[in-house]
Structure 1
């Protein structure tokens, strides 16, 4: 089992007194890692923020991405 799968299997009780500081907008799980992405006033795991068209992880393909019609896009899909 890889790290991402381990993180996704962790259970989080939203009624707990120890609610996480940030919750991922994609998977709704707590963000416990030191690195997170902040986009459109929401937080994301690095591995959860993906291009809405091709599904590429945006953190893996560069330091910038684009937003069009509330969709996250890689440079290639934005140019289409």
Structure 2
């Protein structure tokens, strides 16, 4: 099929480019296929497109919304699309839930912590936390 006969699913303009993408039964300019939440380009090599509930999503936003049942690893409440989150390994936390399980101090950039199961423990409380919870 000639690219000039194709219409982009994003901008609705004709595709005259030599290279274009096909996703979700539509054709796209490389720059027009992007995540509906963060806007990152989904047509780049190594990127994956996730499509759910009518939204085109990158892997990070898909997992944030739908991965792990979309629940915070600390409070088990749903994480909404507009909420800021923190991620440690495969766990996702509301920003307000990302605090030391022992002293309840919220972490700042550069603070050191350890993930024990789903609990986040600051460096200062690590010894006491593991002793109290029978891990020593």
The two structures have a TM-score, normalised by structure 1, of 0.68
Question: Which protein has greater RCO, CA pairs closer than 8 Å, 6+ apart?
Answer: 1
Structure 1 unaligned regions, length at least 5: 1-19
Instruction: Tell me whether 1:74 sits opposite 2:50 in the alignment.
Output: no
SS of residue in 1 equivalent to 2:62 = helix
2: CA distance between counterparts of 1:44 and 1:78? 20
In proportion to residue count, which structure has more helix? 2
Name the counterpart of 1:39: 23
Name segments (4+ residues, structure 1) moved above 2 Å.
60-63
- Give aligned pairs, total: 61
SS of residue in 2 equivalent to 1:72 = strand
Structure with larger Rg: 2
Is residue 47–residue 58 contact of structure 2 (8 Å, CA) maintained in 1? no
1: CA distance between counterparts of 2:25 and 2:63? 24
Instruction: Tell me whether 1:60 sits opposite 2:60 in the alignment.
Output: no
In proportion to residue count, which structure has more strand? 2
The alpha-carbon deviation at position 61 of structure 1 amounts to 6.7
Structure 2 unaligned regions, length at least 5: 65-136
Name the counterpart of 1:50: 34
List per-residue Cα deviations over 1:31-75 (Å, max 9, x = no partner).
Answer: 111211111111110000110110111123734211111111101
Match of 1:27 among 4, 8, 11: 11
CA 1:46 to 1:67, structure 2 compared with 1: closer, same or farther past 3 Å? same
